[in-house]
Chains A and B, each alone.
Chain A
Amino acid sequence: MRTAPDETTRMKTVANKISSFVDRRQALVYPAPAVIALFLIVVIPIGYNLYLAFTKWTIGLGDPRFIGIDNFIELFWDERVLNGLKVMIYFSGLSLTLELVLGLLIALYFHREFRGSEIVQAIYIFPFAATPVAVALIWRIMLNPEIGVLNYLLTSIGLPGSLWISSAATVIPALVMVDVWKWTPMITLIVLAGLKSLPNDPYEAARIDGANTLQIFWYITLPLIRPVLIAALMLRSLDNLKEFDIIYTITQGGPGIASETLYLYSYNVAFSFFKAGYGSALMVVVFLIVLVFNVVMNRMRLSAQDI
């Protein structure tokens, strides 16, 4: 089909106008799709959550009713909030420490040439690549004290079995074990990448000066790798502080409330008790904790880079 000449001219003018607008406002236009997407999936939900935190609302029954800071006052007197904080600190403290230490050691081990290293590394990455809920379900069965395979193995070599997730005393270490198994490979991957990018000169100099392996690690590798370690810790802590899949799949916070982290409690309040207002207030507290932790870590990372 042919278009009339004047119409073609007009279309050209429109196209010109658009392209000149894009040229003039590149900084605005190019990131716009990403900004809009981010706004829709991050800013709006967080804003809505913040709004709900100041309301009383049972899902399905009427509309959210504004009640000011009542939810935050209630939170102070709620024993399960205190319990949730304790569990969160215990779980995250233990698992993050172990993952960081083990991840670093294993990365050092892999940071050498040896036969079959690629195969070993591929197998080692497997837990990290596996779907969290699927592996958690398998762990849940393995950790069962009556019919689980772990106690079967322990007792068959003459050791006493453990109650694992079925006792308030051992549930957190058992969950940490699963978390460490699943996430240490991620730390290893990051640290390994860091190790590979380290300059060679300091090592040569140290060896010429007669430093031993431990000294090289302590005085050269560790300081050089510190920003990477902190970055790995930050990445991991973002997920770990609001760990959900593993804990929910394996224990749902039990026995009793012995593994109910603050995040899990907020989920229970909002989606099992359907109290969306109070649940959102708890969610805000978790959000603040994660935020503060990461701001502090980021400061540490920046100061480590300055050295």
Chain B
Amino acid sequence: MSKKMIFLLIGALLCVGMVSAAVAGSVDWKQCQGTEIRFLMNKHPFTTSIEPKVAEFEKMTGIKVNLEVFPEDQFRNKRMIELNAGGSVDGYMIMPGQAKLHYWKAGWLKPLDDYIADPALTEADWDVKDFFAGPMKGSSMDGKQIGIVINAEASLLSYRKDLFERFKVKVPDTMQELEEAAKFFTGKEVDGKKMVGVTLRGKGAAATSQWVDFLYSFGGSWTDAQGKSNLASPESIAAFKFYGDLLRNYGPQGGTMLHWSESTSIFMEGKAAMIFDANVFKSLYENPKESKVAGKVGYTTIPAGPAGKVPHVSNWSLAISGTSTPERQKAAWLFVQWATNKENVLGALMAGVPAGRASAWNSPDYKSKDATPDWTAGSLKSFEIGQPQWNPPVLNVPEIRDITGLVIVDAIEGKDVAASAKKAAEQMNKKMEM
């Protein structure tokens, strides 16, 4: 072998070495070996999709991850209490639109910009620009990134496409058509079951997340130009009334106690022709083990009201606790980065979690395996036209949601909506904190 050949060979080997170094990236994933971190998670399809993979991360990094998962309401309370006590929580899921004002003010959100900018801590191909701009902006405070988007959520009208075809009913595109379709199916015997037209959340505060799309589409809003409550405006009252009437007249019995779990159960039992709820629940509807309607569901955007189609877009993010120690925060960042990398977000999308990354939706792998293109189209359309503000623009979100929820309950029970809304607006003006 000539000297030249040997040089060439060495050169080639070096190149291969460099290429593989680039693939492995700039981050030393073992840098926090031996650290133990604790994350509080909502019982959400994203959590379900990431949980089985955590062992891989632990093996790769030597970091021990304790994921604690709770149902949503308990999760929120638990997270608050734990963060207030300080110390042992290193990261958590958060809906920025729900809690970021409060959490930021309390110092519970660690700004992530320095991590993102540091090549020793963040891989170049993690690609921060790949995330949807809207939700990422929503996950920032005072220009600082305080959470990394794990999904984007919009509410869709999901309907039994088999029944709509069988009975030749038009898929609703306006609120009026929604009411007509709901009326048509209510009381109909289908396959030995008595149907209801539509199922919606009706349980007070929990219902506001879906009702808000009706509020906006009817031209109403949380607050007026002066920052006072706008719940008692004619448009807002119309939204309360339409929502309440729809659920009372064409919905399941006991509408005032329907949270998403009850509402989706009824739809999955095949007892409702339509449901309006978050697109993320596709993973429930289409799961043949739990759902009797898997494969029979069509998806479309919210029907247009007097003000057009105005859905809201919300999202969950992963945040790092501002009260944790620097060493654990660094380990937590490695976990957040890993959980939100392209591969894991695509994996979650494949499992039905609407992704917050453009690359996942555009991936040929997803496109070729997409069994519900109408869901994909409806979700992307909603993200495009949606409002990022879906909660009352106040500091004490849960309390104002609770006040609003009482009007929704009154509307479902057929009480005097105008009077109830007026009372709620007074309460809201008295109690809202900015």
A positions within 8 Å CB-CB of B: 58-61, 144-147, 161, 163-168, 251-252, 254-257, 268, 271-275
Query: Could you say which of B80, B262, B402, B413 contacts A271, with CB atoms under 8 Å apart?
Result: B80
B274 to chain A, nearest CB (A): 15
Q: How far is the CA of A251 from the CA of B73 in the complex (A)?
A: 13
Residues on the A chain within 8 Å of B203, using CB: 254-255
A271 touches B81 (CB 8 A): yes
Q: How far is the CA of A168 from the CA of B413 in the complex (A)?
A: 9
Q: A61-B105, A146-B252, A268-B402 are in contact. Are A254 and B257 (CB under 8 A)?
A: yes
A256 touches B80 (CB 8 A): no
Query: Could you say which of A146, A161, A167, A257 contacts B271, with CB atoms under 8 Å apart?
Result: A146
A147 touches B410 (CB 8 A): no
Q: How far is the CA of A165 from the CA of B259 in the complex (A)?
A: 13
Q: Is B84 an interface residue (CB 8 A)?
A: yes
A165 touches B105 (CB 8 A): no
Query: Could you say which of B254, B396, B405 contacts A145, with CB atoms under 8 Å apart?
Result: B254
A274 touches B254 (CB 8 A): no
A60 touches B253 (CB 8 A): no
Known: A61-B106, A145-B253, A254-B257. 14 other contacts (CB 8 A): A58-B433, A60-B106, A61-B105, A144-B254, A146-B252, A146-B266, A147-B269, A164-B254, A166-B256, A255-B254, A255-B409, A256-B413, A274-B102, A274-B398
A274 touches B409 (CB 8 A): no
Within 8 A of A (CB), among B80-110: 80-81, 83-84, 102-103, 105-106, 108
A256 to chain B, nearest CB (A): 4
Q: How far is the CA of A120 from the CA of B15 in the complex (A)?
A: 81
Q: How far is the CA of A166 from the CA of B280 in the complex (A)?
A: 26
Q: Is B339 an interface residue (CB 8 A)?
A: no
Q: A59-B80, A59-B84 are in contact. Are A256 and B406 (CB under 8 A)?
A: yes
Interface SS of chain A: loop
B243 to chain A, nearest CB (A): 15
Tell me the nearest residue of chain B to A161, going by C-beta.
Answer: B253
Interface SS of chain B: helix
Complex interface bits, B229-263 against A, C-beta within 8 A gives 1, otherwise 0: 00000000000000000000000111111000010
B152 to chain A, nearest CB (A): 26
Residues on the A chain within 8 Å of B208, using CB: none
B204 touches A163 (CB 8 A): no
Residues on the A chain within 8 Å of B399, using CB: 272-273, 275
Q: How far is the CA of A275 from the CA of B266 in the complex (A)?
A: 35
A163 touches B80 (CB 8 A): no
B49 to chain A, nearest CB (A): 25
Query: Could you say which of B262, B398, B413 contacts A144, with CB atoms under 8 Å apart?
Result: B262
B419 to chain A, nearest CB (A): 14
Q: Is B77 an interface residue (CB 8 A)?
A: yes
Tell me the nearest residue of chain B to A250, going by C-beta.
Answer: B257
Q: Is B265 an interface residue (CB 8 A)?
A: yes
B256 touches A255 (CB 8 A): yes
Residues on the A chain within 8 Å of B262, using CB: 144, 146
Tell me the nearest residue of chain B to A251, going by C-beta.
Answer: B257
A60 touches B410 (CB 8 A): no
A170 to chain B, nearest CB (A): 10
Within 8 A of A (CB), among B399-413: 399, 402, 405-406, 409-410, 413
A147 touches B265 (CB 8 A): yes
Residues on the A chain within 8 Å of B410, using CB: 256
Tell me the nearest residue of chain B to A148, going by C-beta.
Answer: B254
Q: How far is the CA of A113 from the CA of B254 in the complex (A)?
A: 46
Residues on the B chain within 8 Å of A147, using CB: 265-266, 269, 271
A256 touches B256 (CB 8 A): yes
A146 touches B396 (CB 8 A): no
Tell me the nearest residue of chain B to A168, going by C-beta.
Answer: B413
Tell me the nearest residue of chain B to A268, going by C-beta.
Answer: B402
B406 touches A146 (CB 8 A): no
Residues on the B chain within 8 Å of A271, using CB: 77, 80-81
Residues on the A chain within 8 Å of B269, using CB: 146-147
Tell me the nearest residue of chain A to B412, going by C-beta.
Answer: A255
Q: How far is the CA of A164 from the CA of B257 in the complex (A)?
A: 11
A273 touches B266 (CB 8 A): no
B120 to chain A, nearest CB (A): 33
Q: How far is the CA of A64 from the CA of B102 in the complex (A)?
A: 16
List 17 contacting pairs A-B, 8 Å CB cutoff, sorted by A.
Answer: A59-B80, A60-B83, A60-B84, A144-B262, A145-B252, A146-B254, A161-B253, A163-B253, A165-B257, A166-B253, A251-B257, A255-B409, A268-B402, A272-B76, A272-B77, A273-B398, A273-B399
Q: A146-B266, A166-B257, A268-B402 are in contact. Are A273 and B252 (CB under 8 A)?
A: no
Query: Could you say which of A60, A251, A254 contacts B103, with CB atoms under 8 Å apart?
Result: A60
Q: How far is the CA of A65 from the CA of B265 in the complex (A)?
A: 45
Q: How far is the CA of A161 from the CA of B255 in the complex (A)?
A: 15
Q: A146-B266, A272-B77, A273-B399 are in contact. Are A167 and B254 (CB under 8 A)?
A: yes
B108 touches A256 (CB 8 A): no
B194 to chain A, nearest CB (A): 10
Query: Could you say which of B73, B77, B396 contacts A58, with CB atoms under 8 Å apart?
Result: B396
Residues on the B chain within 8 Å of A268, using CB: 402
Q: How far is the CA of A272 from the CA of B400 in the complex (A)?
A: 11
Q: How far is the CA of A272 from the CA of B77 in the complex (A)?
A: 6
B254 touches A163 (CB 8 A): yes
Which 5 A-B residue pairings sit nearest by Cβ, starting from the closest? Answer: A166-B254, A255-B256, A60-B106, A256-B409, A273-B399
B277 to chain A, nearest CB (A): 16
Tell me the nearest residue of chain A to B78, going by C-beta.
Answer: A271
Residues on the A chain within 8 Å of B255, using CB: 166
Residues on the B chain within 8 Å of A251, using CB: 257
Q: How far is the CA of A254 from the CA of B256 in the complex (A)?
A: 8
A60 touches B80 (CB 8 A): yes
Residues on the B chain within 8 Å of A60, using CB: 80, 83-84, 102-103, 105-106, 108
Tell me the nearest residue of chain A to B257, going by C-beta.
Answer: A166
Q: Identify which of B84, B204, B254 gathers the most chain A CB atoms within 10 Å of its CB.
A: B254
Q: How far is the CA of A145 from the CA of B105 in the complex (A)?
A: 43
Residues on the B chain within 8 Å of A61, using CB: 102, 105-106
Residues on the A chain within 8 Å of B83, using CB: 60
A255 touches B257 (CB 8 A): yes
Within 8 A of A (CB), among B183-207: 203-204
B268 to chain A, nearest CB (A): 10
Q: How far is the CA of A249 from the CA of B32 in the complex (A)?
A: 40
Within 8 A of A (CB), among B47-81: 73, 76-77, 80-81
A5 to chain B, nearest CB (A): 51
Q: Identify which of B102, B257, B409 gathers the most chain A CB atoms within 10 Å of its CB.
A: B257
B84 touches A252 (CB 8 A): no
Tell me the nearest residue of chain A to B105, going by C-beta.
Answer: A61
